Amino acid sequence: MAQDDTFADRLRRRRFLRLGGAAGVAGLAGCLNQGELQGETDDSGDDTEDGGGGGGDETDDGGGGGGGSGEPITVGAAIPFSGDLSDFGEPMLNAMQMAVEDINAAGGPLGREIEVNDEDTGTDSTQGVNAANKLVETDGVDAVLGAVSSGVTISIAQSVTIPNGVLHLNSASSSPSISTLDDDDLLFRTRTNDRFVARVMARIIENEGADSAAVVYVNNDFGQALADTFESTFSGTTTAAVGFSSGQSSYEQVLSEAFSDDPDMIAFAGYPESGTTMLSQWNEGGYGGNWVLHTSMLSEDVISNVGAEVLNGMFGVRTRPPTGDATESFVGDYESEYPDADVFSPYSWNSYDSLVSYALAVHAAGSTDSDAVKAEMRTVSNPPGDAVSYGEFGDGVDLLDDGTEIDYSGPSGTVDFDDNGDVASDMVVVEVVDGEFEDQEVIPADELV
């Protein structure tokens, strides 16, 4: 494969080979490059017929057929490029760009291109709401994807997307509280919620023979919900549940409170910036015990910043990475497209799948109206139906145009939305061994529901 091939070129070649030389897909005009996606876009949402408010009222004749207004379909990305979760913003946006190129190379939903406008949520609820308001009220986006922090996601949903009737996609937030939002079925997420993580944390501690544990959690919707689920699940004694605020220079008071009754282990629900500081101070203070870390802490940066000798023997929980061809192809394409990217996040493949499933639902609905699209989100992603996978958006459109049901799955695995708009994934127990995260055990999702 030529080194100077674009991502869209590779997608076209793969599609040509699948179709055995059938008619070529539409050219990729107007794909966003990384600089455009990161703040240099124009207000393309102003071209929509009805900015905000559910993405406009237009409906294309002929159901899922092509045509339509020809105006771009704009998705707003409200994700963090600053704050405690800033590491995740760029790799999520990279994956969205890959989805945009895939979708547009195949002609787009309803014969229209997808565009992405992005705004920085700053890992802060106020900034996140302001970012989402700009995307909806000023840019007139047809849907919003974001955020990462569950607290920010909930604030955006309650203050912006739900009141405005705008479809809300999420690929990273994991709080169980999101499942029970009164969202008029507007919020869909491709990330498993944290009730699974909390239950696996409890199982790890029990399997280690520990009788007592404390929960240390970031004091927001994500942390509180995980702590509550852990306490209700753990069969031993929960000696303390200690909340903390992100961004502190010292967590000595938090650690003193957590270890006041000498728990055998700590279940930690927090983010890398704060978690790195806390683990370093725990080590320096000689508190003892062992830790089980939330998924967000399982990065090489955490190991390098805290030290392998400190983390060796600690446990973690994460969603089981898919192992199919779709995942391998996506990771290979990502590394080829972004060879200098500092971080690859699992939220990348979730972000790709969120955008592709949305685009397929738009085509099935024959409209960008959020009420119409939400009615098709499960139709295109849940069984029954012909399988549609990574790089096969054009195939999905062709099947829909032929009146055939489809079942989309992608690099994040199956995208089967339940009644709450959630997906379920198998979980993996991870241990730090010789400075690396090693998978120890896979726990099926059906054991954790």
DSSP codes of every residue in 1-28: --TT--HHHHHHHHHHHHHTS-SPPPP-
Query: Residue 374 in 3-state DSSP?
Result: helix
CB distance 221 to 177 below 8 Å: yes
Q: Across-strand partners of 441?
A: 429
The type of residue at 419 is D
The CB density around residue 68, as the number of other CB atoms within 10 Å, is 22
Confidence (pLDDT) at 322: 66
The type of residue at 289 is G
Query: Residue 87 in 3-state DSSP?
Result: helix
Pinpoint the alpha helices (H) of 75-124.
89-105
DSSP E strands: which ranges in 245-381? 265-269, 290-293, 315-319
Confidence (pLDDT) at 15: 37
Query: Residue 318 in 3-state DSSP?
Result: strand
Confidence (pLDDT) at 318: 86
Q: In this structure, are strands 237-244 and 167-170 parallel, antiparallel, or unpaired? A: unpaired
Confidence (pLDDT) at 342: 63
Radius of gyration of the chain (CA): 22
Mean pLDDT over 50-71 rounds to 46
The sheet carrying 73-79 orders its strands as 114-120, 73-79, 143-146, 167-170, 187-189
| Residue-wise pLDDT tens digits, 323-356 | 678 888 998 999 999 998 766 677 899 999 999 9
Q: CA 75 to CA 58: how far, in whole Å?
A: 16
Quote the distance between the C-alpha of residue 38 and its chain's center. 18
Question: Which comes out higher in pLDDT, residue 202 or 55?
Answer: 202
Residue 11 predicted with pLDDT over 50 = no
The type of residue at 196 is F
Query: Residue 359 in 3-state DSSP?
Result: helix
> Torsions phi, psi of 421, nearest 5?
80, 15
pLDDT tier, 205 (very low <50, low <70, confident <90, very high otherwise):
very high
Q: CA 376 to CA 123: how far, in whole Å?
A: 31
CB distance 41 to 115 below 8 Å: yes
When the pLDDT of each residue in the chain is averaged and rounded to a whole number, the result is 85
